[in-house]
């Protein structure tokens, strides 16, 4: 009870809150998202609407020993109107409180009585809002590319981004998971070859296949990595991406600008809340929208259109009606076989994505 009293008497100090496209609406919420996506800021802003609340962060060492299943007595005694519990890892019995919000980084966690809400990393528009720099579009894109999409990324200098992201990962992941992530970085925008990662790590550390496969599954459950399926159900290979596209540069010396830009595009697509797939020729496919995306960042628009024309039969077979081609070249529109192809730079595409 002393711990609860201390937390109640010393709530987190208010901080400047920058509006996101996501809002907490409702009285019983389970907020999911990768560490660093902005869950805490969103929750603290929500709590500021209440004059009597209790905030518990289970990652705070000072919270050690709290019995979450015995909160009712304290809530009733203090007449608490809102309860927030951050960084929950396992199910609990919900206490009796008018407003409850719980945060977790685990996709697999479900709690009866709570409505799930997912918070993603900053999209391009949100980054611009947070960054507050009056640069032209191409420069803003470059800064986004370097810094990534975590909620604190706009406030980092270009020169501290890599070190900060490494520290961020080290603070929450053990040495094995860091090595796994570093290996996954070399498979970005490619089918994830877990066996090859196993062979790479086995040469340096003692490791079983089962342990590796479980750790990769855990990293996906924690939203650090995400995978997508091939459009052909008979092909089981999954492509892999980071939830923060800047992680590749922070974890690997191998440079692959196209893969990083593809990861940026993937992160933007997540806000559509639609299933995303791929084919051997089309980088991303959103079947529900009959929509495809080609990543051709270094091709002139004329050559990009020519490549699209060669793929028109394949796009027709997939039932696509629109294909956006992400390129740093000049915008251009063409139509082949009833499919519209739009060549445009990332910054134009991201602003127009709905």
Long-range contacts of 274-277 (CB under 8 A, 24+ apart): 276/228, 277/228, 277/229, 277/230, 277/231
In a domain, 354, yes or no: no
Q: Which two tokens stand for residue 201?
A: 């790590």
The enclosing domain of 187 has a CATH number of 1.10.10
Is residue 302 in some structural domain?
yes
Query: Of the candidates 56, 86, 118, which is a domain's last residue?
Result: 118
Asked whether 74 and 4 are in contact (CB, 8 A), the reply is yes
Q: Is residue 256 located within the same domain as residue 300?
A: no
The answer to whether 293 and 324 are in contact (CB under 8 A) is yes
Same domain for 78 and 171, yes or no, is: no
How far apart are alpha carbons 271 and 231 in whole angstroms? 20
Listing DSSP states for 315-328 in one string gives HHHTT-SEEEEE-S
pLDDT in tens, the chain (354 residues): 588 999 999 998 877 778 899 999 999 999 999 999 999 999 999 999 999 999 999 999 988 888 887 899 999 999 999 999 999 999 999 999 999 999 999 999 999 999 999 999 999 999 999 998 989 999 999 999 999 999 999 999 988 999 999 999 999 999 999 999 999 999 999 999 999 999 999 999 999 999 999 999 999 999 999 999 999 999 999 999 999 999 999 999 999 999 999 999 999 999 999 999 999 999 999 999 999 999 999 999 999 999 999 999 999 999 999 999 999 988 999 999 899 999 999 999 999 986
330 and 344 both lie in a single domain:
yes
Domain shared by 304 and 254, yes or no: no
Do residues 229 and 161 share a domain? Answer: yes
- The answer to whether residues 104 and 139 belong to one domain is no
Same domain, 194 and 128: yes
195 falls within a domain: yes
pLDDT, residue 183, reads 97
* Residue 202 covered by a domain: yes
**Domain end among 251, 270, 289:** 270
Within-domain flag for 150: yes
Q: What is the pLDDT of residue 1?
A: 59
Last residue in a domain, options 217, 245, 270: 270
Residue 129 lies in a domain: yes
Both structure tokens of 256: 């692959």
Q: Are residues 191 and 317 in the same domain?
A: no
* pLDDT for the residue numbered 69: 77
**Position of tokens 């793929």?**
311
Tell me the C-alpha distance between 130 and 107, whole Å.
27
**The residue count for the chain:** 354
Residues 142 and 172 in one domain: yes
- The alpha carbon dihedral of 170, 173, 175, 176 has a sign of negative
Q: Say how far apart CA 180 and CA 202 lie, in whole Å.
A: 11
**136 and 189 share a domain?**
yes
Give the C-alpha separation, 57 to 86, whole Å.
Answer: 5
86 falls within a domain? yes
So what's the pLDDT on residue 330?
86
- Domain span including residue 152: 122-270
| Cα(62)–Cα(330) distance, integer angstroms | 55
Within 10 A of 351 (CB to CB), how many other CB atoms are there? 14
| Closest C-alpha among 248, 255, 276, 69 to residue 166 | 248
Query: What is the Cα–Cα distance from 268 to 121, expressed in whole angstroms?
Result: 9
Please enumerate in sequence order all residues whose Cβ is within 8 A of that of 35, keeping only pairs 6 or more positions apart, or say none: 105, 168, 172, 222
* Count of structural domains within the chain: 3
d(CA 87, CA 64): 13
Say how many C-beta atoms besides its own lie within 10 A of residue 98's C-beta.
12
- Same domain as 337, residue 306: yes
User: Do 245 and 176 fall within a single domain?
Assistant: yes
pLDDT of residue 329: 86
Contacts of 198 (CB under 8 A, 6+ apart): 207, 209, 212
Q: Is 346 exposed, middle or buried (0-12, 13-18, 19+ CB in 10 A)?
A: buried
The 10s digit of each residue's pLDDT in 259-279 is: 999 999 999 999 999 999 999
């Amino acid at each position: 009870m002393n711990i609860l009293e201390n937390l109640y008497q010393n709530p987190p100090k208010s901080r400047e809150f920058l509006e996101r496209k996501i809002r907490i609406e409702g009285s019983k919420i389970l907020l999911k998202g990768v560490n660093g996506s902005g869950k805490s800021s969103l929750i603290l802003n929500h709590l500021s609407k209440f004059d009597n609340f209790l905030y518990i962060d289970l990652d705070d060492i000072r919270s050690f020993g709290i019995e979450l299943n015995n909160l009712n007595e304290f809530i009733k005694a203090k007449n608490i109107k809102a309860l927030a519990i951050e960084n929950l890892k396992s199910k609990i019995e919900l206490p009796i409180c008018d407003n409850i919000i719980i945060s977790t980084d685990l996709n697999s966690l479900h709690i009866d009585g709570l409505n799930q809400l997912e918070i993603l990393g900053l999209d391009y528009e949100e980054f611009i809002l947070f960054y507050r720099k009056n640069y032209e579009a191409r420069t803003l894109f470059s800064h986004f590319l370097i810094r990534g999409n975590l909620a604190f990324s706009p406030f980092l200098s270009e020169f501290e981004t890599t070190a900060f992201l490494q520290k961020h990962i080290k603070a929450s992941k053990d040495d094995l998971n860091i090595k796994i992530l570093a290996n996954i970085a070399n498979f970005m925008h490619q089918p994830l070859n877990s066996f090859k990662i196993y062979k790479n790590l086995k040469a340096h550390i003692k490791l079983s296949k089962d342990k590796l496969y479980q750790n990769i599954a855990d990293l996906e459950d924690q939203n650090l990595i995400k995978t997508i399926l091939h459009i052909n159900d008979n092909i089981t290979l999954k492509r892999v991406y980071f939830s923060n596209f800047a992680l590749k540069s922070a974890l690997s010396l191998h440079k692959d600008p196209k893969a990083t830009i593809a990861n940026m595009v993937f992160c933007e697509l997540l806000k559509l809340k639609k299933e995303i797939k791929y084919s051997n020729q089309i980088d991303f496919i959103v079947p529900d929208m009959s929509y495809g995306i080609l990543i051709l960042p270094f091709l002139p628009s004329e050559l990009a259109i020519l490549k699209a024309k060669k793929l028109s039969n394949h796009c027709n077979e997939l039932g696509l009606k629109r294909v956006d081609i992400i390129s740093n070249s000049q915008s251009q529109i063409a139509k082949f076989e009833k499919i519209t192809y739009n060549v445009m730079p990332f910054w134009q595409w991201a602003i127009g994505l709905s």
